[in-house]
Structure 1
């Protein structure tokens, strides 16, 4: 008897749920039917304009050297490069540093993915004035420049988990913390590859701590 009553209750609930879903579907259908041809044309036009603007912006970025990771020959070119682009990441490197070569590999990948940002590299031996002006003391260092002003630095691999084996996603996350690229992941959860393997070096990083960080890297220089 109890099982029969339970069955009837469940059947009633299912019917009520089905009725609610049917009413919601009918409401959506009615809403779609009310959209006339003029409204559809307007929506299509807006969509087309949005796509056109996005394409124009993409072409503008590409014309300014975005979409690739490239070297500038001297410090003189640096000022012109950062002047014409809103977001710039510049890698200050030395040929003898293996860690600079590790960064090169990751930056080349990110540059193709994030064309909204310009990615450059400059040899510190060819840019003594620039290094002094930007207080570049540790190699490698990434200078993150927004609107012509140096906003932040990634010094060595400290913010990347204190390991040479950090992933491209980890560097991408770190750049996203400084809003120098459009990062779509969770900024509060760094995507370190093997938290258990590397132990206490892998911790959550506060964006405020990153931006106020001193030069405490233990890299080659």
Structure 2
């Protein structure tokens, strides 16, 4: 019995000794870079643990009154968001509307802070491509009013905004034309661009609440583009609905 116990004890000691030898061998093979990496990982772990502890301590100090105040603030925010949403829906947001004349566009600017207006001509095929994408985005982004206006029914605005290429999408914020998407150049310069790319471009213009990465279009993430629109930054049209400082000289499509 004693001999068996001694043998088991010896085997256990040898196993521990082997583990120690293995660990020593592993440590001997570590480079300075490996050691530095391990040190940094441990330091980062300690930082995260400290952060969690501080958050826990902060929460522990909250009184019932503090929690109730936070709850009421959140509830008020939700009420305001719901009220704003109802106002948008009452003003026709959530739909893609074809305006009968340019007068209606002026009326809409008095009710809606953010407007996406597609200037089109029925005979221009690329305008129909834009229609398909804007119909989908109008339902998704009710924070903006999506409309279309035929250039044949809007001679005054077409001239004042210097619209020469169709399709042109004007992005209005607080009755000011902040940006324009002229043709498909900003959308990859081809007809089969995705709705996501147009959504991103509207987000760059600030006319919708875009949740993605504004620094790069979703179809071109590998290019790692900075906040430019395929080579050019979005423009602000200083004179708003009353004029345009863009001197683009492209001919309008028939």
Q: Are the aligned partners of 1:155 and 1:215 in contact in 2 as well (CA < 8 Å)?
A: no
Q: 1:28 to 1:94 in 2, by over 3 A?
A: closer
Aligned residue for 1:116, secondary structure, equals coil
Report the more deviating stretch, 130-139 or 98-107: 130-139
1:42-91 CA deviation, whole Å, 9 max, x = no partner?
A: 11101100101111111111111211111111111111111221111111
2:220 is equivalent to residue 215 of structure 1: no
**1:153-191, Cα deviation, whole Å (9 max, x unpaired):** 111111111100001111111112221112222222122
**Any idea what SS the aligned residue of 1:192 has?**
helix
Distance 2:52 2:177 in 1: 53
Gaps of 5+ in 2: 1-19, 28-38, 224-228, 238-244
Q: Which runs of 5+ in 1 are unaligned?
A: 197-202
RMSD of aligned Cα (Å):
3.4
Between the aligned partners of 2:144 and 2:246, the Cα distance in structure 1 is: 23
Give the TM-score normalised by the residue count of structure 2.
Answer: 0.70
Q: 1:27 to 1:58 in 2, by over 3 A?
A: same
Residue 22 of structure 2 corresponds to: 3
54, 78, 93: which one aligns with 2:105: 78
Q: Which residue of 1 aligns with 2:155?
A: 128
Q: Does 1:38 align with 2:71?
A: no
Counterparts of residues 169-208 of structure 1 (less than 5 Å): 169-192=196-219, 204-208=230-234
Match of 2:84 among 49, 57, 66: 57
Q: Give 1:102 shift.
A: 0.5
Q: Distance in 1 between matches of 2:59 and 2:148?
A: 53
Query: Which protein has the larger Cα radius of gyration, Structure 1 or Structure 2?
Result: 2
User: Does residue 1:166 correspond to 2:218, yes or no?
Assistant: no
TM-score by length of 1: 0.79
